[in-house]
Amino acid sequence: MLPFTRLSSIARQFSTSIRMSYPSTISAIAISKTGGFDVLEKISIPFPKIAPGHLVIKVQYLGINFIDTYYRQGVYPVSSFPFVLGKETAGTVVGLPTDEAVLNDPDYQKRGYKEGSRVAVDLLSTHAEYISVPWKTVYPIPDSVSTLTAASALIQGVTAVSFMEEAYNVQKGDTILIHTVAGGLGLLMAQLAKSRGATVIGTTSTPEKAELAKANGADHVILYKNENTVARVLELTNGEGVHAIFDGVGKDTFDSNFEMIRRKGTLVSVGNASGAVPPFPPLKLVAKNIKLLRPTLNNYTYTPSEVLYYSHKLFSLLSDGTLRTQVFKEYPFTTEGVQQAQKDLTGGKTTGKLVIKVSD
C-alpha cells in the first residue's frame, strides 16, 4: 500500500490535471449597483481562484432567500462591484483540497468528501456555475436526500433547527408564534415545533396559505389582513401570551410582539421582510422580563464541528420525514429568471422555497 504522503502527492497531481480542464469564464448572478429588480443580471466572470484548502463545486441549484434582496437593495453593504449574489447553493464536488494539513484534519476526514460527492453550501457570493469554497462551509448530502431538497432546505432548515435549539429551545407543552408561517422558513419551523410537542400559532396573508400552514403543523393560523393578531393570540392563550415568538417580518410586527409574549418569554427576531427593526430602549424588555435575540445562522455554525452537527441533524430530519420541503417554483438560470424569483419572493404570494436550476 502506498504511504499517505505519496497518495497526497498523487491526489494533488490528479487535481491539477482536472483543474486544467476548468473553463476560463463562468456565468453568475450579480449586481453592478444596488437598486430595484432591474440591477439583477446574469454575467460572465473569471473562473474562481482555487485556494489549497478549498473544494471546487459544479453547481446544480441555487436557493433564493431574502438576504439576496437585502444585498440587492443595499440594506447590507457591498464591498465592490460587480457583486455576485447568493448564499445557498448545492451541487457536485469536482475538485478536492490540496493542502496536506486539511487532508489530515480529523474534521475534514469525518465528512468523507470525494469527487462526485453531492454537497450543499452556505456561503456568500456563491450563485455561479462553479464555486471554490472553504471546506468548512460545505455540508455533505447523504444518499437519502436529493440535491434539490438540500438546496431548498439548507439555510431555512439549519436556521429552524439551530434557532429552535439554541435561540429558544422549543419544548413539549410550549405555545409559540411564527411570523409568517407559510414561507420556506415558517413551514419548516412549524413542522419542527410540532414534532417537539409545541402548540403552533402562525400568521399569514391568505386562506390558501393558512391551509398549507395547517398541513405543515400549525394548530392555529391568523390571517393578519383580516384579524386582530394580538387579540386572537391572547384569546388562544387565555390572556397569558406565547412562550416564544419567531419573527421573520421585522419592523411591521415588532412592537405588537411585546403584547403577545408572556412573562419571561423569548422573542427571536429572525428576519427583516418588512424592513429592519428600528432602535428601541432596552427598558422595553422590563415589563415582562422577556429575552430578545437577533441571532445569525453563521454564529451557530461557526466551527467545523457545529457545521457537521447541524448537517447531521437537518438531513436526519429530512430523511425520516420530520421535515418536508415545499418548493414553490423552479426558475431558469437567466437574468429574467432571477429577477422574477426575487419579485415573487418579495411580492408576498409565494409559499415554500424558490430555487434556480443551473445544471443537471
pLDDT digits (tens, 9 = 90+) for 236-283: 999 999 999 999 998 999 999 999 999 999 999 998 888 889 899 999
Q: Are 346 and 338 in contact (CB under 8 A)?
A: no
Residues of the chain with pLDDT > 70: what percent?
94
The pLDDT value recorded for residue 117 is: 96
- pTM for the model: 0.87
Peptide bond into 52 cis (omega under 30): no
Query: How many angstroms separate the CA atoms of 353 and 335, rounded?
Result: 19
CA distance 322 to 20: 43
- Contact in structure between 248 and 185 (CB atoms under 8 Å): yes
Q: How many CB atoms lie within 10 A of CB 329?
A: 15
Give me 170's grid cell.
422549543
Spatial neighbors of 165 by CB under 8 A, at least 6 apart, are none
> Quick one: angle between helices 229-236 and 251-260, nearest 10?
30
d(CA 18, CA 130): 14
Neighbours of 39 (CB within 10 A): 17
Q: Nine-digit cell at 149?
A: 431538497
CA distances from 249 to 204, 232, 254, 340, 346 (A): 11, 18, 8, 21, 11
pLDDT at 91: 98
Cell numbers placing 302: 461557526
Predicted local distance difference test score (pLDDT) of residue 16: 45
CA nearest to 159, candidates 336, 295, 342, 20:
295
CA–CA dist 201, 220 (Å, integer): 5
Residue type for 107, please?
A: D
Rounded distance between C-alpha atoms, residue 322 and residue 179, angstroms: 21
Which of 50, 187, 48 is closest to 200 using CA atoms?
Answer: 187
Ramachandran category for residue 206: left, alpha or beta (phi over 0 → left; psi -120 to 50 → alpha): beta
Run means of pLDDT, 10 residues per run, the chain, 360 residues: 47 48 96 97 97 98 94 92 97 97 95 96 97 95 96 95 98 97 93 98 95 96 96 98 96 96 97 86 95 95 94 96 94 98 90 92
Strand order in the sheet with 175-179: 220-223, 199-204, 175-179, 242-247, 261-269, 291-293
> What are the E-state strand segments in 96-168?
118-122, 130-134, 138-140
Give me the residue label for grid cell 412549524.
Answer: 190
- Cell triple for residue 261? 409574549
Residue 113 confidence (pLDDT): 95
Q: Which helix (H) or strand (E) holds 311?
A: helix 304-319
